[in-house]
């Protein structure tokens, strides 16, 4: 079977206190290779005993880690980044097996993105500083303190990246993390844990436990947990934020979207087509920030659609482990079914299929990259997150009109625009209600740039220096320098 992956295969379901741990009494969770539908591994959901081990070891380890100087903490994270880069090929194969994403993509966007985050936060770890302020002769200062044990809960589209985007800032600032991957892609985070410990991370500081939503919920409400950082859908985010808030826990919520891309009449059309392709079909459309509502100026829509269709139809769809392939399957059967239902609804509501729109006749969870046109803003495919390779192309004639339509959504994750007029670009972007925007580019997420959503798309930001704030709380110290006066 081609799914033999001896170098990269994690050796058990969980990673706790510096070592792989198995407990087969937990419910089995099959790991299915999306390109063929084959079961390539089985992990077991965490039992209450497994969760207790993870929570106890994280609580124990965090105190010493917080007391260590930032430079030493950062060195370990940077060493882990180096190991990830050395093993990029085998980790990329594992990511492809876990998600179905083409190796051509995982070689450059997944383990490497995780390494970038570890390197970035490893560098910042020594620079965790407070401020001081003067009040006459007295003064005060602040110290950023780690929160304690933090929980990370992942979605299935970027299993390595999500583990690192959460783990790196948490660890850099002196916290421990217990990470629960998505039940659909449970393998990659185990390798992140293994490599962090190989790089010298003390046992207990990055534990990985498997399971469905109930395991995430049990971690969220455990009294020893100080913070929950979730990447997932809006409905799950609402549940997790409510449960955490009931206990005054901090949250970061990286949730779903239905983001707009605005293409003005003066845009470089080839760049705009490239942006729309990257923002809809990378990872077979399973990217939270995708710009799935593409508003094109009426005067250029014909040309845009012609160039888009001819380029999309050159996508190389095939074995994801073949580096020539650049378009893979949906990660799960369930997600394939959701996308197919959306396509049925779009057709029934009057959409025109410009290209794609069909299930590809292969084993596994395949659907063709799809472009829809002749749409109105009230159609289901324009309003709801599909999380698949389905681009909705709409037209506009007026700047104010397209801004209002772009903002007419409960979401606010991302937005993009293409124009050669930079004055217009900045004027428009200032009016878009989205946490992360791109001008003449789409979906690039270097770790030095804050990433996250507004409105229903989330709370807080990942990456950049501000992620350090989200994993610390400020302790303020007032220093009296003169005798204490009292009324009596």
Ligand X SMILES: O=CCc1c[nH]cn1
Beta bridge pairs of residue 260: 293
Residue 255 as a binder of ligand NAD (CB under 6 A): the answer is yes
In the bound complex, what is the minimum distance in angstroms from residue 292's beta carbon to ligand X? 13
User: Please, which residue, 251 or 321, has the CB nearer to ligand NAD?
Assistant: 251
In the bound complex, what is the minimum distance in angstroms from residue 158's beta carbon to ligand X? 5
In the bound complex, what is the minimum distance in angstroms from residue 459's beta carbon to ligand X? 16
CA distance 197 to 404: 49
Residue 154 as a binder of ligand NAD (CB under 6 A): the answer is yes
Look up residue 364 and give its DSSP letter: S
User: Please, which residue, 236 or 472, has the CB nearer to ligand NAD?
Assistant: 236
| Helix, strand, coil percentages, rounded to 5, for the chain | 40, 20, 40
User: Please, which residue, 395 or 445, has the CB nearer to ligand X?
Assistant: 445
User: Please, which residue, 220 or 289, has the CB nearer to ligand X?
Assistant: 289
Q: Which range of residues in 150-158, 291-299, 339-347, 357-365 is near ligand NAD by CB under 6 A?
A: 150-158
Contact, 261 vs 293, CB < 8 A? Answer: yes
> What binding mask, one character per residue, do residues 277-316 give for ligand NAD by CB under 6 A, x or -?
-----------x----------------------------
- Per partner kind, with CB cut-offs from 5 to 8 A, the member of ligand NAD, ligand X, none near residue 443 is ligand X
Interface pick for ligand NAD out of 33, 121, 156, 418 (rule CB under 6 A)? 156
- Pick out residues in 187-216 that bind ligand NAD (CB under 6 A): 212-213, 216
CA distance 163 to 110: 11
Which single residue brings its beta carbon nearest to ligand X? Answer: 288
Closest to 362 measured CA to CA, from 392, 324, 387, 325: 325
CA distance 402 to 428: 10
CA quadruple 438, 441, 442, 443: dihedral, nearest 10: -90
Which single residue brings its beta carbon nearest to ligand NAD? Answer: 216
In the bound complex, what is the minimum distance in angstroms from residue 118's beta carbon to ligand NAD? 18
* Radius of gyration from C-alpha coordinates of the chain: 23
Residue 98 as a binder of ligand NAD (CB under 6 A): the answer is no
CA distance 332 to 318: 17
Residue 262 DSSP SS3: strand
Element (H, E) at 346: helix 333-348
> What binding mask, one character per residue, do residues 153-172 give for ligand X by CB under 6 A, x or -?
----xx--x-----------
Closest to 196 measured CA to CA, from 185, 180, 207, 182: 207
CA 353 to chain CA mean position, Å: 29
Interface with ligand X (CB under 6 A):
157-158, 161, 287-289, 443, 445
Interface with ligand NAD (CB under 6 A):
153-157, 180, 182-183, 212-213, 216-217, 220, 231-233, 236, 239-240, 254-257, 288, 385, 387, 413, 453, 458
């Amino acid at each position: 079977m081609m799914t033999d992956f001896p170098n990269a295969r994690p050796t058990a379901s969980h990673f706790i206190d510096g070592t792989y741990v198995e407990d087969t009494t937990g419910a089995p969770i099959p790991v299915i290779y999306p390109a063929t539908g084959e079961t390539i591994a089985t992990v077991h959901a965490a039992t209450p005993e497994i969760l207790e081990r993870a929570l106890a070891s994280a609580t124990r380890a965090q105190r010493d880690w917080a007391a260590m100087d930032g430079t030493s903490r950062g060195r370990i994270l940077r060493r882990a980044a180096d190991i990830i880069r050395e093993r990029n090929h085998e980790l990329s194969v594992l990511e492809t097996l876990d998600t179905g994403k083409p190796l051509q993509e995982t070689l450059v966007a997944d383990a490497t993105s995780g390494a970038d985050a570890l390197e970035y936060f490893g560098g910042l770890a020594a620079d965790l500083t407070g401020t001081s302020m003067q009040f006459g002769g007295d003064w005060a200062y602040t110290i950023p303190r780690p929160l304690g044990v933090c929980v990370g809960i992942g979605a299935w589209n970027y299993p390595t990246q999500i583990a690192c985007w959460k783990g790196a800032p948490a660890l850099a600032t002196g916290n421990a993390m217990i990470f629960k991957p998505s039940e659909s892609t449970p393998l990659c985070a185990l390798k992140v844990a293994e490599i962090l410990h190989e790089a010298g991370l003390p046992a207990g500081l990055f534990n990985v436990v498997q399971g469905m939503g109930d395991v995430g919920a049990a971690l969220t409400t455990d009294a020893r947990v100080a913070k929950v950082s979730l990447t997932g859908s809006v409905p799950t985010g609402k549940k997790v934020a409510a449960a955490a808030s009931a206990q005054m826990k901090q949250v970061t919520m990286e949730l779903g979207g239905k983001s707009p891309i605005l293409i003005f009449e003066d845009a470089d059309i080839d760049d705009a087509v490239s942006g729309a392709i990257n923002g809809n079909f990378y990872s077979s459309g399973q990217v939270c920030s995708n710009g799935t509502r593409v508003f094109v100026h009426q005067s250029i829509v014909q040309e845009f659609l012609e160039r888009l269709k001819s380029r999309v139809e050159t996508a190389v769809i095939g074995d994801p482990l073949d580096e020539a392939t650049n378009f893979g399957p949906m990660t799960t059967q369930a997600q394939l079914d959701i996308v197919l239902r959306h396509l049925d609804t779009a057709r029934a509501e009057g959409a025109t299929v410009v290209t794609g729109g069909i299930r590809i006749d292969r084993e596994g969870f395949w659907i063709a990259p799809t472009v829809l046109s002749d749409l109105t803003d009230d159609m289901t495919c324009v309003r709801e997150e599909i999380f698949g390779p389905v681009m909705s192309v709409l037209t506009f004639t007026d700047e104010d009109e397209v801004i209002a339509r772009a903002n007419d959504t409960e979401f606010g994750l991302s937005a993009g625009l293409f124009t050669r007029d930079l004055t217009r670009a900045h004027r428009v972007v200032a009016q878009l209600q989205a946490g992360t925007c791109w001008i003449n580019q789409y979906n690039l997420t270097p770790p030095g740039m804050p990433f996250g959503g507004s409105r229903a798309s989330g709370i807080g930001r990942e990456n950049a220096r501000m992620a350090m704030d989200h994993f610390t709380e400020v302790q303020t110290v007032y220093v009296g320098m003169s005798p204490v006066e009292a009324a009596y």
